[in-house]
């Protein structure tokens, strides 16, 4: 059964989260009023100055222990910050991966030294991470990574190629999933995670331009790059388990259904107070979808919250909501496109990338970025296969 | 806050056990002719389940609306051929809100649409008149609980269906949806309706159908998964084919969304926070899920699924009937969209985030 241990009817945000929401809204309102950023849809912008401001409010790494620069706040509070940032299309790229993925991984698997080195810097908004997962021949099939690390005196020598590495041209370091042992037949074995600084000798970063010419993707070449022993995350050979262990939160967060949300708000504005029944129905349907997705996402965040006694920052391992999380991503990314189509059909304007009207610009931005949401972080088809396997169990 | 509280877990467990023991294909087939199962009703009544969510002072078993919601989800899962939702969530609530005791036996409720029932005083009695179409379960009900209009204002009246002219009707799933003609029928009980309004009744009806739908979808998914595990074609279990897997995964998403929406809406109604947004969303989303889910369930089953011998149709017929009752997804979406537009763009995100 799905959502077995979740009590949806009782699911409510606690008072501190509601208070925090007001603080985040005030902050964003002031930033927008001051013209500190121009909201863009499609992909979040890299803005180190904005990231430092967010950090100064204590909203990066906010669930982490205080000793690593965190605030020891709940997942729900983090949920609130994330959804408010998305609703405002705030430029969060600089801290996105550190806050969401590498930080939690370090907390769970990193050595004390690595935690001390990186976590407080991420939380201060001064250290930016990228993710070195995909390779030319390892996309959805991540376990087929070929990048190799050879043991040498004092560490490892890494050689290979990573691809689709967002913001590698601006980040300080990236998590590299690589092979540290020859293929034993089980492709999930012999993989490890290393932190590689992006200014290390032997690293070359080349842009891969998105179809609209924008630069956030890169390919990263590693040519015999030396990585000190202490940059190994967790255990050698356990990389696969480490990479897949925290997927539930990543797959089910508001970023899986809210990246086109500001377009919906602008659509509502454009339609006016009393549009025709066709427009009302479309807006009503989208509202129902959003409301439901948010309830599902919220339920997962709340259920995985380790609670005050748990190890802050590491999701509760006892509850398995991986299937539900994959469902949120599948339906959420589909919903993001439904917004785009509804906006397109109801407004009937020719999309123009440099439009001065916000609605029209958002529409142009989201049409061209629409294909990517159902590809990154696990394609729809791979997710569905995973979901079905869990539903069906082993068949032979 | 997160784990279902113990009382509710026990309630769900005992409802599941009871329905699992009682409801089988034979009962569901028989209910197609009889309109319902009296035996199941008595078993449920013995377990006090039709009185969940009704205050004890009105003769109910106590418990919250969310407790009742959890029970209705289970009832939907088993396609229970009884007016559990109408008795506990609609009629019981109408009577208790008006300060009237809730009698034993199955109850029917109305009207939640445009129809008007009138009532007038005649000495100490209240006389009730009106014509109603498609009243759920009217012919098996012990009482019809109606929201009637009097010169003094709205009145909740309880009438004996034996005093009314009933024209039997049915929905797609052969559940009773009866025409009722009331011609100066003497009410068994009556009291001014304070919190009971037509729109509140419609919201509750929609919520009840959303909850039943969520449960029925869970059952259809269970059946489809089991079938895909067992059925062999082309020398393999059909669940081994990616084409089937993709459909089942999509189906699971619809079911998860329906469960999340329906139960969340019950919580919103219990707390009284933006009830229309929540219930409209739940009715829209569960009706959409019913559409997608029922079709995938049948597609996975192939031809066996469309026979009256196989269990699936008891659930899918209900899904197709319930999605129209108390407003289909287009009606609710138009209502909801109208409200959203009227409030304006800047009120949208705050409304979504009230819960």
Tell me the two tokens of residue A394: 């082993």
Q: Quick one: CATH architecture of A242-392?
A: Up-down Bundle (1.20)
What's the pLDDT at A313?
A: 53
Q: What b-and-e string marks burial along B213-222, b requiring 16 or more CB atoms within 10 Å of the CB? A: bbbbbbbbbb
pLDDT at position A392 is 96
Q: Which of B7, B14, B68, B43 is nearest to B212 (CA)?
A: B68
Position A191 pLDDT exceeds 60: yes
- Greater confidence (A316 vs B271) lies with B271
Q: CATH top-level class for B198-352?
A: mainly alpha
The predicted pLDDT at position B2 comes to 41
Distance of CA B249 to the CA centre of its chain: 26
A81-85, A242-246, B115-119: which range is least confident on average? A242-246
What mean pLDDT is predicted for residues A95-118? 95
Task: List, for residues A156-174, the tens digit of each pLDDT value.
Answer: 999 999 999 999 999 999 9
Position B355 pLDDT exceeds 80 = no
Is there a common fold for B6-192 and B198-352? Answer: no
pLDDT at B220: 98
Shortest Cα–Cα distance, B352 to chain A (Å): 6
Contact A391 B352 (CB under 8 A): no
Residues of A with catalytic function: 250
Task: Please answer yes or no on whether B333 and A389 come within 8 Å at the CB atom.
Answer: no
pLDDT band for A251, please (50, 70, 90 cuts).
confident
List the structure tokens of A246. Answer: 């925290």
What's the rounded Cα separation, in Å, for the pair B212 and A199? Answer: 59
Facing residue for B260 by CB, picked from A279, A296, A387: A296
Position A312 scores a pLDDT of: 52
For A302, the closest of B2, B218, B261 (CB atoms) is: B2
**Architecture of the A131-237 domain:** Beta Barrel (2.40)
B147, B146, B142, B178: which is closest to B160 by C-alpha?
A: B142
The per-residue pLDDT for A183 is 78
The Cα of A266 is separated from the nearest Cα of chain B by a number of Å equal to: 7
Nearest of A231, A102, A298 to residue B355 by alpha carbon:
A298
Q: Lowest-pLDDT range, A38-52, A255-269, A300-314, B244-258?
A: A300-314
pLDDT attached to residue B7: 87
Residue B334 Cα, gap to closest chain A Cα (Å):
4
Q: Which of A2, A287, A396 sits opposite B256 (nearest CB)?
A: A2
The CATH number fitting domain B6-192, selected from 3.30.70.580, 2.40.110.10, 3.90.1410.10, 2.60.40.10: 2.40.110.10
Sign of the alpha-carbon torsion through A268, A274, A275, A279: positive
Mutate to test the interface with A, among B329, B353, B354, B355 (most CBs of A within 10 A): B353
Instruction: Name the residue ranges covered by the structural domains of chain B.
Output: 6-192, 198-352
The residue whose two tokens read 């092979």 is A179
Per DSSP, the three-state class of B150 is strand
Domain ranges of chain A: 8-127, 131-237, 242-392
ipTM of the prediction greater than 0.90, yes or no: yes
Q: Does residue A328 have a pLDDT over 60?
A: yes
Residue among A121, A124, A123, A131 nearest A195 (CA): A131
- Ranges of beta strands (E only) in chain A are 129-132, 148-152, 155-163, 173-179, 191-197, 203-209, 215-228, 232-233
Q: What is the pLDDT of residue A245?
A: 77
> Which DSSP helix (H) or strand (E) runs through B180?
strand B177-186
Nearest in space to A217 (alpha carbons), one of A369, A363, A339: A369
Mean pLDDT value across chain A: 93
Instruction: Give the architecture-level CATH label for domain A8-127.
Output: Orthogonal Bundle (1.10)
> In what helix (H) or strand (E) does residue B125 lie, and over which residues does it extend?
strand B125-136
Q: Per-residue pLDDT tens for B264-314?
A: 999 999 999 899 999 999 999 999 999 999 999 999 999 999 999 999 999
Beta B153-159 vs B189-192: how paired, if at all? Answer: antiparallel
Torsion, CA A232, CA A236, CA A242, CA A244, rounded to 10: 120
What is the tally of helices (H) and strands (E) in chain A?
13, 8
pLDDT at B273: 86
Residue ranges of B 274-293 with Cβ closer than 8 A to chain A:
277-278, 280-282, 284-285, 288
pLDDT tens profile B244-255 = 999 999 999 999
| Pairwise pLDDT comparison (A2 vs B239), residue with the higher score | B239
Asked if B334 lies within 8 A of A280 by C-beta distance, the reply is yes
The pLDDT assigned to A316 comes to 60
Share of chain A above pLDDT 70, in %: 96
3-state secondary structure of A7: coil
Position A317 pLDDT exceeds 60: no
Q: Residue A180 has what pLDDT?
A: 96
To the nearest whole Å, the CA of A69 is away from the closest chain B CA by: 28
Rounded percentage of chain B residues whose pLDDT exceeds 70: 99
Query: pLDDT by residue (tens digit) across B125-176?
Result: 999 999 999 999 999 999 999 999 999 999 999 999 999 999 999 999 999 9
Q: Average pLDDT in the A355-360 region?
A: 96
Interchain CB contact of A318 with B (< 8 Å): no
B253, A12: Cβ pair inside 8 Å? no
B 322-341 near A (Cβ less than 8 A): 329-330, 332-338, 340-341
User: Band of the pLDDT at B111, cuts 50, 70, 90?
Assistant: very high
What's the mean per-residue pLDDT of chain B? 96
Tokens coding B29: 């087939």
Nearest by CB to A9, from B66, B221, B225: name it: B66
Mean pLDDT, rounded, for B61-71: 96
Q: At what angle are helices B6-22 and B38-46 packed, to 10 degrees?
A: 150
Question: Which residues 270-309 on chain A approach chain B with CB closer than 8 angstroms?
Answer: 271-275, 277, 279-285, 287-296, 299, 302-303, 305
Instruction: Give the whole-number percent of chain B exceeding pLDDT 90.
Output: 96
DSSP reduced 3-state for B149? strand
């Amino acid at each position: 059964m799905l959502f077995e241990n979740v009590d949806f009817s009782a699911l409510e945000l606690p008072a501190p989260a509601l208070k925090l929401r007001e603080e985040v809204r005030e902050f964003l309102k002031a930033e927008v009023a001051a013209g500190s950023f121009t909201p863009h849809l499609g992909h979040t912008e890299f803005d180190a100055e904005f990231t430092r401001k967010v950090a100064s409010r204590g909203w990066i790494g906010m669930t982490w222990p205080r000793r690593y620069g965190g605030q020891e706040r709940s997942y729900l509070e983090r949920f609130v910050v994330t959804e408010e940032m998305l609703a405002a299309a705030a430029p969060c790229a600089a801290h996105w991966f550190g806050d969401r993925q590498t930080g939690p991984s370090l907390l769970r698997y990193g050595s004390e030294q690595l935690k001390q080195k990186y976590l407080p810097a991420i939380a201060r908004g001064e250290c930016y991470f990228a993710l070195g997962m995909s390779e030319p021949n390892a996309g959805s099939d991540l376990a087929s990574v070929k990048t190799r690390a050879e043991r040498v005196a004092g560490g490892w020598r890494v050689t290979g190629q990573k691809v689709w590495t967002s913001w590698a041209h601006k980040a300080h370091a990236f998590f590299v999933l690589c092979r540290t042992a020859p293929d034993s037949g089980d492709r999930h074995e012999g993989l490890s995670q290393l932190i590689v600084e992006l200014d290390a000798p032997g690293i070359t970063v080349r842009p891969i331009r998105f179809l609209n010419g924008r630069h956030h993707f890169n390919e990263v070449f590693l040519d015999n790059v030396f990585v000190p022993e202490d940059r190994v995350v967790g255990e050698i050979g356990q990389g696969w388990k480490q990479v897949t262990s925290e997927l539930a939160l990543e797959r089910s967060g508001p970023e899986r259904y809210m990246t086109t949300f500001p377009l919906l708000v602008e659509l509502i504005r454009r339609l006016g107070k009393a549009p025709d029944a066709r427009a009302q129905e479309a807006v009503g349907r989208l509202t129902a979808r959003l409301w439901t997705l948010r309830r599902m996402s919220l339920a997962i965040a709340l259920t995985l919250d380790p609670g005050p006694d748990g190890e802050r920052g590491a999701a509760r391992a006892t509850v398995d909501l991986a299937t539900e999380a994959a469902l949120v991503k599948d339906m959420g990314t589909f919903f993001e496109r439904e917004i785009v189509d509804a906006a397109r059909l109801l407004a009937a304007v020719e999309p123009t990338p440099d439009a001065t009207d916000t609605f029209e610009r958002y529409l142009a931005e989201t049409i061209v970025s629409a294909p990517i949401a159902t590809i990154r972080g696990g394609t729809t088809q791979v997710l569905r296969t995973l979901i079905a396997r869990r539903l069906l169990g082993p068949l032979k | 806050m997160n784990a279902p509280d113990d009382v509710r877990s026990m309630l769900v467990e005992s409802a599941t056990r009871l329905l699992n023991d009682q409801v089988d294909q034979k009962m569901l087939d028989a209910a197609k002719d009889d309109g319902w199962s009296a035996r199941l009703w008595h078993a449920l009544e013995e377990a006090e389940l039709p009185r969940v969510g009704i205050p004890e002072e009105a003769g109910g078993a106590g418990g919250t609306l969310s407790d009742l919601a959890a029970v209705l989800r289970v009832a939907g899962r088993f396609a229970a051929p009884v007016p559990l939702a109408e008795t506990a969530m609609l009629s019981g609530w109408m009577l208790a809100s008006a300060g009237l005791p809730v009698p034993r036996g199955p109850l029917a409720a109305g009207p939640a649409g445009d129809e008007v029932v009138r009532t007038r005083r005649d000495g100490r009695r209240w006389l009730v008149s009106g014509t109603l179409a498609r009243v759920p379960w009217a012919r098996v009900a012990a009482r019809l609980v109606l929201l009637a209009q009097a010169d003094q204002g709205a009145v909740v009246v309880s009438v004996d269906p034996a005093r009314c002219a009933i024209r039997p009707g049915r929905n797609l799933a052969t559940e009773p949806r009866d025409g009722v003609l009331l011609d100066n029928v003497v009410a068994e009980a009556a009291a001014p309706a304070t919190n009971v309004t037509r729109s509140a009744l419609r919201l509750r009806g929609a919520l009840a159908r959303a909850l039943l739908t969520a449960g029925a979808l869970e059952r259809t998914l269970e059946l489809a998964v089991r079938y895909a595990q067992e059925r062999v074609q082309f020398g393999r279990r059909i669940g081994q084919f990616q084409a089937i897997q993709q459909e089942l995964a999509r189906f699971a998403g619809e079911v998860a969304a329906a469960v999340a929406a329906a139960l969340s809406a019950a919580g919103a109604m219990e707390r009284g926070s933006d009830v229309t947004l929540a219930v409209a969303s739940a009715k829209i989303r569960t009706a959409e899920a019913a559409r997608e889910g029922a079709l995938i369930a049948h597609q996975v089953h192939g031809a066996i699924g469309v026979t009256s011998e196989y269990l699936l149709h008891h659930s899918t017929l209900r899904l197709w009937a319930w999605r129209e009752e108390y407003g289909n997804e287009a009606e609710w979406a138009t209502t909801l969209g109208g409200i959203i537009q009227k409030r304006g763009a800047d009120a949208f995100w705050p409304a979504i985030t009230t819960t």
